[in-house]
Structure 1
Amino acid sequence: MAPARMDYEPAGELKIGQVGIANLRVKTLDIERLAAEMRERVARAPKLFARAAVVLDFGGLSDTPDRATAQALVDALREAGVLPVALAYGTSANDALAQALGLPLLAKFRASYERAGGGESHPVGAAPVGAAEAATAHAPTSTRQAPAAPVAASAAPTREPAPVAPTGEPGLVQAAPVRSGQQLYAENRDLTVLSAVGAGAEVIADGSIHIYGPLRGRALAGAQGNVKARIFCRAFHAELVAVAGHYKVLDELPRELRGKPAQVWLEGDQLRVEAME
């Protein structure tokens, strides 16, 4: 009798990489206020924040909240329109809280916040969203295809050249357009896109980002906290721009910038966006 045929094809393929998750660093444990702020974000930019995955970071508080308080916050944020999916890695008390809530811990966000020196944040991300912002303790490889998800702007820029990539490695050059639903990540270097970044696409770099076509999606520079990173594009239509965790969405940016060459950079803890002549 012939042996039964063994099927070694897995029923599901598991990959670990960068995804669009926003990071919410709680500074004041006021549940009503936090929910109201998130509700406002969702109303202002529903395509970015409605049902967005959010990581809760309690590192800005003196004490880790108890389970009942944390659960109330999770429920309030869900009612506000986002989906808390994890806690940012912290103390042993934070670990115990994550277990009590039935949520995982994600370690990358805390490190990115400390390097970035604070401010709003994730790609991926969220948050970053996003970040950007990685969703695991290991940075992704140079390119990723993943759903995208989630930094402040104005004043005249200094005309200094863009900073070099964080490690001095050659930049990543993408010749083809980055299309909706795609995500491109340049680890420890600058990213240059010779074509367009489409709506719903996301480009991320640990260094600066140069886009020689229209930017209609999201661009997150300085993903590992490089505050000297910049974003340059030939035609500005961005859904979201971020540098070192500080972000702004399209509705918060001056309408007169749309369609013009522009650059984005950090000045202190303020994100600046200016048209280039």
Structure 2
Amino acid sequence: MAGTMASYEQCGELKFGQVGIANLRIRTLDIVALKNEMHERVERAPKLFRHAAVILDFSALPGCPDAETADALIDALRNAGVMPVAIAYGTPAVEKLAEQVGLPILAKFRASFERDDSPEPTRPTPVSEDTSMPAATSPAILPGLEPGLLQTQPLRSGQQVYAAGRDLTVCAMVGAGAEAIADGSIHIYGPLRGRALAGASGNAQARIFCREFNAELVAIAGTYKVLDEIPKKLLGKAVQIWLDKDQIRIEELA
């Protein structure tokens, strides 16, 4: 990390969107620090991040960077091991920048961050006094959510299923390199060895439930954890995963 003093504030906030592509929201335009952060992510989880497609989001900056700075950032991120493939839609200046650096504009990746400043939805009052884990409730559902999508066949490496606007139930294995994605919650009645991304459209109340937990990556509303960040005592166990104040929480199911 750049600077003489240790800093725990990230320069770039990395989240995952509906199709499993990483969205890098630039908070501080410190190219060296951003390169170092991304290099660390790649080193910690190379199977997930090496050569991964990344969307650049400049909406958290006070202004749009110039083309020379953006080109330098793109080169730095490529050297760190990821592949910037597009820019998240923002302002006319961002559209012009995208033309100058030769990257396409993707509009949908901005929506989840625009919810960050909105009032937090009212949460149901827990009926349990045990504060170590939220009381059991019905899976969170977005308004107008369709009946859940049922996946009965195993998901193998390179395969993906996406439950748009609804929950996802997988009655089989999610293998390493496979992705289970839903705008609602995800229920996996088999081993989870790949990736599970719930609340993909920004629903922070979505959850993930699985019978055998060995996930490469889990995410709720874009906030994620990779395998190396998960306590070993939870591996192979039946677990529940939810988001608590922008932090992923994982607890073993009784």
TM bracket (short chain)? 0.7 to 0.9
Q: Distance in 1 between matches of 2:114 and 2:161?
A: 24
Name stretches of at least 5 consecutive residues in structure 2 with no aligned partner. 1-17, 119-131
- Alignment partner of 1:180 is 2:180: no
Q: Deviations for 1:223-244, whole angstroms, at most 9, x for unmatched residues?
A: 1011110000000000000000
Question: Segments of 4+ in structure 1 off by > 3 A?
Answer: none
Q: Distance in 2 between matches of 1:56 and 1:173?
A: 33
User: Of the two structures, which has the highest relative contact order with CA contacts closer than 8 Å and spacing of 6 or more?
Assistant: 1
Q: Deviations for 1:17-39, whole angstroms, at most 9, x for unmatched residues?
A: x7442110000011010000000
Per the alignment, residue 245 of structure 1 pairs with: 222
Three-state SS of the structure 2 residue aligned to 1:181 is: coil
Name stretches of at least 5 consecutive residues in structure 1 with no aligned partner. 1-17, 119-154
Three-state SS of the structure 1 residue aligned to 2:33 is: helix
- Per the TM alignment, residue 267 of structure 1 is displaced from its structure 2 partner at its CA by 1.0
CA RMSD of aligned residues (A): 1.5
- Alignment partner of 1:40 is 2:17: no
Kept in 2, the 8 Å contact 1:166–1:188? The answer is no
Per the alignment, residue 9 of structure 2 pairs with: none
Q: Distance in 1 between matches of 2:76 and 2:159?
A: 31
How many residue pairs were aligned?
224
- Alignment partner of 1:211 is 2:188: yes
**Distance change (3 Å), C-alpha of 1:269 and 1:87:** same
TM-score normalised by length of structure 1 = 0.78
Q: Which amino acid aligns with 2:167?
A: D
Q: Distance in 1 between matches of 2:207 and 2:215?
A: 14
- Alignment partner of 1:200 is 2:174: no
Kept in 2, the 8 Å contact 1:163–1:208? The answer is yes
- Per the TM alignment, residue 178 of structure 1 is displaced from its structure 2 partner at its CA by 1.2
Q: Distance in 1 between matches of 2:211 and 2:238?
A: 4
**Distance change (3 Å), C-alpha of 1:68 and 1:168:** closer
Kept in 2, the 8 Å contact 1:116–1:225? The answer is no
Kept in 1, the 8 Å contact 2:26–2:61? The answer is yes
Per the alignment, residue 21 of structure 2 pairs with: 21
Q: Deviations for 1:53-83, whole angstroms, at most 9, x for unmatched residues?
A: 1111000001000111111111111111111
- Alignment partner of 1:58 is 2:58: yes
Matches within 5 A, 1:1-277: 19-115=19-115, 156-277=133-254
Per the alignment, residue 7 of structure 2 pairs with: none
Per the alignment, residue 128 of structure 2 pairs with: none
Kept in 1, the 8 Å contact 2:19–2:181? The answer is no
Alignment identity in percent?
Answer: 65
Per the alignment, residue 122 of structure 2 pairs with: none
**Distance change (3 Å), C-alpha of 1:190 and 1:165:** farther
Kept in 2, the 8 Å contact 1:171–1:192? The answer is yes
- Per the TM alignment, residue 117 of structure 1 is displaced from its structure 2 partner at its CA by 5.7
Kept in 1, the 8 Å contact 2:142–2:203? The answer is no
Q: Deviations for 1:165-214, whole angstroms, at most 9, x for unmatched residues?
A: 54232111111111111100001110000111111100100000000001
Kept in 2, the 8 Å contact 1:54–1:82? The answer is yes
TM-score normalised by length of structure 2 = 0.85
Kept in 2, the 8 Å contact 1:197–1:215? The answer is yes
Deviates more, 1:157-166 or 1:97-106: 157-166
Q: Distance in 2 between matches of 1:213 and 1:101?
A: 44
Q: Distance in 2 between matches of 1:55 and 1:264?
A: 26
